[in-house]
Structure 1
Amino acid sequence: MLRYTVKRLLQLAVALLGLSLLLFAWFKALPGGPENRMLPDNATDQQREALRQALGLDEPIWSQYGEFLSRMVHLDFGTSLSSGRPIGTELAERLPATIELSMWAIVIAVGIGIPLGYLAARRRGTWLDFGAVAGSLVGICIPVFFLAAMLKVVFAQELGWLPTTFRLSPGLTYTEITGLRVLDGLLTGEFDVVWDAARHLMLPAIALASIPLAVIVRITRASVLEVVGEDYVRTADAKGLKQTTIRGRHIMKNAMLPIVTVIGLLLGSLFAGAVLTESVFAFGGIGSFVYQATTERDYPALMGFILVIAVSYVVLNLIVDLSYGFLDPRVRVRK
């Protein structure tokens, strides 16, 4: 297992190095250079040259890349052109909101998707199977921003069951520890904060979970159907083993590999969906910050966001790869 883990860590390092090269190339390829965005249109050539020297853009290309890589390693993304604040500070303040929203979304998707996909496979051809497949198709087809807007109109504005915007109700104070509102409320015993934060999370989490839920249902159903037809499952059933043992040890354990793979990929894509979802509900996470940076051509902020999301995506997939070794020891031997 140690050799398998070291090999995956080396692959992670290579992937991150390649990512840094792509980001550096993108930054250098900006129209007119990055200094063009930082200066007014009527800036003189002397001002542009002075800024290039201050940014180190007059240095050799490999020297610039080395400086760029050093700053990325130290999480020094520079200053946001739209807010005037350090980008690292902006991300640190907003990232917990996006993490909390993504966690709720994946819990909803996994908590409903795996059991529903399993039941659909075990009751193939019934109304439950038909409903699960049809529902998953609808979930994949509906855009996240449209579903978010519909949920907001129906359940927040028309019925008034849930809040429309923000992470907490105005005027409600709480003790911040991790930046995750629900977790902080549980840690400090402020259960009014837990309830209020959960209510604010419900609609955006459901909207964000729609596509992952649909994908997990379909993958689980297909994977379980494939495993159920294997000889070792029929043999276990013929031996008279308990159904709980057959379901847990023989069916679900062997069906989990493709499901875990898909969950790892979906975790990375949740950040992209969060940009639209947070904008609809004014959630105050990274999504709203990226939206503002995009509209105002704040390239340093966008680069910091891309790096954070890409690193998160790579790390999550590393965790998925390592989980293969625990789910199926044969993977450690083959890879």
Structure 2
Amino acid sequence: MLRTIGKRLLLLIPTLLGMSILLFWWVRSLKGGPATALLGEKATPEAIERINELYGFNRPILEQYFTWIGRLLQGDFGNSIATGRPVLEEFLRRFPATIELSIAALIIAVGVGVPLGYWAARRHGKATDHTAVVLSLVGITIPVFFLAFILKYVFAVQLGWLPSDGRQNPRIDATHYTNFYVLDGIITGEFDAAWDAILHLILPALALGTIPLAIIVRITRASVLEVQNADYVRTGKAKGVSRGLLRNRFILRNSMLPVITTIGLQAGLLLSGAILTETVFAFPGIGSFLASAIFDRDFPVLQGFIIFIAIAYALINLIVDISYSLIDPRVRVS
């Protein structure tokens, strides 16, 4: 197991290196540039040249790339052109919000998607199954930003049941040690602050988790249908294995591998999909900051944040691969 983990970690090196090359090329191919976005109407050729010289954007592209990689290996992600603060500092300040939102969305997607997919498969061809399939199709086709606006308008504006934006009521004097607001409220015993943070998470998490939920429902349903018709399940029935053991050990556990794979992929996609959701709900995570960085052509922020997301995505896939051996002993033996 440790050898496998070591090999996967070593494979991350060429993967991230290739990712850095593509990322650097994409960022530099954006029309305009930081100088034009920063200067606005004052963007004279002389002023643009001074900004480019200040940040080294007028140097050869290969020199810029190797300079950036060299600083990156030393833990220096550069400074934001828009705010002037270190990119790493901005990341550590905003990333907990995105992680908290992604975890909430994943809990909703898995907590509803797996039972619903299993329930639909167990009632294959019946009204429950057809309803689950239709709802999953609707969930996949509705754009995240559209659903976010609908949820915000109905539950925050019209009904007033939930907050419409932000992470926490500014009137609450809460203590923040980790920048994970729910966790901070629990650690410090400020349960009113933790509950308020949960209320602020509900609507954006619902909007962000809808597409993963729909995909998990369909994958779980298809996997359970395939497993429950397998030979060993029919053999178990013929030998008189109890219904509960048959469902839990034979069907559900053996159908989890593709579901776990899907959950891992969706967990990674939630980090990138949070941009639209955070923008609609004014949620101060990395998504909204990345959107601003794209408009401002803030190259250091774009490069640093996307590399962070790529590393997180790769580590999530590694965790998923490790979990296979915990679910299926055949994987562990091989």
How far residue 7 of structure 1 moved from its aligned partner, in angstroms, is: 2.2
Question: Counterparts of 1:101 and 1:258 in 2: how far apart (Å)?
Answer: 24
- Residues 267 and 74 (structure 1), Cα distance of their counterparts in 2 relative to 1, 3 Å cut: farther
1:292: which partner in 2?
292
Question: Counterparts of 1:42 and 1:34 in 2: how far apart (Å)?
Answer: 13
Question: Counterparts of 1:230 and 1:327 in 2: how far apart (Å)?
Answer: 18
* Structure 1 letter corresponding to 2:135: G
Q: Does 312-321 or 79-88 show the bigger shift?
A: 79-88
Alignment TM-score, normalising by the size of structure 1: 0.91
Question: Counterparts of 1:19 and 1:207 in 2: how far apart (Å)?
Answer: 29
Structure 2 unaligned residues grouped into runs of 5+: none
Alignment TM-score, normalising by the size of structure 2: 0.91
Residue 57 (structure 1) aligned to one of 56, 59, 63: 59
1:41: which partner in 2?
44
Question: Counterparts of 2:302 and 2:115 in 1: how far apart (Å)?
Answer: 38
Q: What do the CA deviations read for 1:159-211 (whole angstroms, capped 9, x no partner)?
A: 01011111111210111122111111111111101111111110000010000
How far residue 108 of structure 1 moved from its aligned partner, in angstroms, is: 0.5
Q: How does 1:1-335 map to 2 (within 5 A)?
A: 1-27=1-27, 29=29, 40-43=43-46, 47=50, 50-51=53-54, 57=59, 61=62, 64-332=64-332
Question: Counterparts of 2:51 and 2:80 in 1: how far apart (Å)?
Answer: 19
- Contact between 1:185 and 1:193, CA under 8 Å: does it hold in 2? yes
Q: What do the CA deviations read for 1:107-144 (whole angstroms, capped 9, x no partner)?
A: 00001100110010001111111111010000000000
Question: Counterparts of 1:222 and 1:238 in 2: how far apart (Å)?
Answer: 24
SS of 2:255's equivalent in the other structure is helix
Identity of aligned residues (%): 54
How far residue 68 of structure 1 moved from its aligned partner, in angstroms, is: 2.1
- Contact between 1:28 and 1:34, CA under 8 Å: does it hold in 2? no
**Number of aligned residue pairs:** 331
Question: Counterparts of 1:239 and 1:144 in 2: how far apart (Å)?
Answer: 48
How far residue 309 of structure 1 moved from its aligned partner, in angstroms, is: 1.2
Two-structure CA RMSD over aligned residues (Å): 2.3
- Residues 57 and 37 (structure 1), Cα distance of their counterparts in 2 relative to 1, 3 Å cut: farther
Q: Does 301-310 or 42-51 show the bigger shift?
A: 42-51
Structure 1 unaligned residues grouped into runs of 5+: none
Q: What do the CA deviations read for 1:9-43 (whole angstroms, capped 9, x no partner)?
A: 22222211221222233355556887776774332
